[in-house]
Structure 1
């Protein structure tokens, strides 16, 4: 088994991508209330700040900032995935390997993280998050996707409601 090394910074700010195991399922938007409840539950026990987020049918992207003395984002993801999974009806197909490990087979086992380096890196990732539903063809404009922190950014005056309204796929909103 591969030994993954995670770059951990106390109080760090991270961009994450987390996927369902079966990418054709739409569990995350079909059960958005359950996902929100899982986030809230974990945030009470293990605080973190959600800087930006977008939830798509089969995956999500988010930026978190951890408390100053904390590096354990893996614990938080494990608990969020577990809380969400516990709330779903048990009708998913699972492999023998997942059954041995008492996993449901809803989530991909791993997630992708990137430590945010500076304010430009942060802004690029926020833009990527907010533009993602357009990139995947779910909506024509960022404002039309309901499961995004974009609406909070508009409410707070950080972005105009028509932000990226005329951007074509690939216009400075892709991450390398």
Structure 2
């Protein structure tokens, strides 16, 4: 069993990558309103700022700003993932999903990077917005409808 530890920096600005368990699907964009509602409901309960967000068919990237004194981004992701997952029909679950009370939709972990400075922030916000271009979905970031990018 791994001993996975995440940094706990109050009020941190953090870049995230969160992916579906089954890559190559279009689940996130097919159910974008359910994802948006899961994020809205979580933000109502556990405030956080969004500096950038992009949703691709099977993963997403975002930059969050946690409130001063707050370090619990893992709880926020757990709530977002659970709320979104409950809106989808149940599929075939492996025993490990059942044991952990999971729906088998999301990868168990997510990748996070605590932003160090303004240059780091600019690069990661740009990374979010340019990701649909990188993946060949659009030619310009403003053409991707599932992004916080606004020219």
TM-score by length of 2: 0.97
Q: Which residue of 2 aligns with 1:75?
A: 75
The 1-side partners of 2:126 and 2:33 are apart by 24
1:101 is aligned to 2:139: no
SS at match of 1:150: coil
> For structure 1, which runs of at least 5 residues remain unmatched after alignment?
155-176
Once the two structures are TM-superposed, the CA of residue 96 in structure 1 deviates from its matched residue by 1.1
Which whole-Å deviations, capped at 9, do the CAs of 1:73-98 have from their partners, x for residues lacking one? Answer: 000000000000011122x2321111
Once the two structures are TM-superposed, the CA of residue 138 in structure 1 deviates from its matched residue by 1.0
> For structure 2, which runs of at least 5 residues remain unmatched after alignment?
none
The 1-side partners of 2:138 and 2:3 are apart by 38
Once the two structures are TM-superposed, the CA of residue 110 in structure 1 deviates from its matched residue by 0.3
Superposed structure 1 runs of 4+ greater than 2 Å apart: none
Q: Which residue of 2 aligns with 1:135?
A: 134
Once the two structures are TM-superposed, the CA of residue 141 in structure 1 deviates from its matched residue by 1.7
Q: Which residue of 2 aligns with 1:4?
A: 4
RMSD: 0.8
Which whole-Å deviations, capped at 9, do the CAs of 1:91-132 have from their partners, x for residues lacking one? Answer: x23211111111100000000000000000000001100000
1:121 is aligned to 2:120: yes
Q: Which residue of 1 aligns with 2:54?
A: 54
Who wins on radius of gyration, i.e. which is larger? 1
The 1-side partners of 2:61 and 2:135 are apart by 13
Q: Which residue of 1 aligns with 2:16?
A: 16
The 1-side partners of 2:25 and 2:102 are apart by 17
Q: Which residue of 1 aligns with 2:28?
A: 28
The 2-side partners of 1:97 and 1:134 are apart by 36
The 2-side partners of 1:118 and 1:68 are apart by 17
Q: Which residue of 2 aligns with 1:172?
A: none
Which whole-Å deviations, capped at 9, do the CAs of 1:42-71 have from their partners, x for residues lacking one? Answer: 001100001100000000000000010100
How many aligned residue pairs are there? 151
Higher RCO structure, 1 or 2 (CA under 8 Å, sep 6+): 2
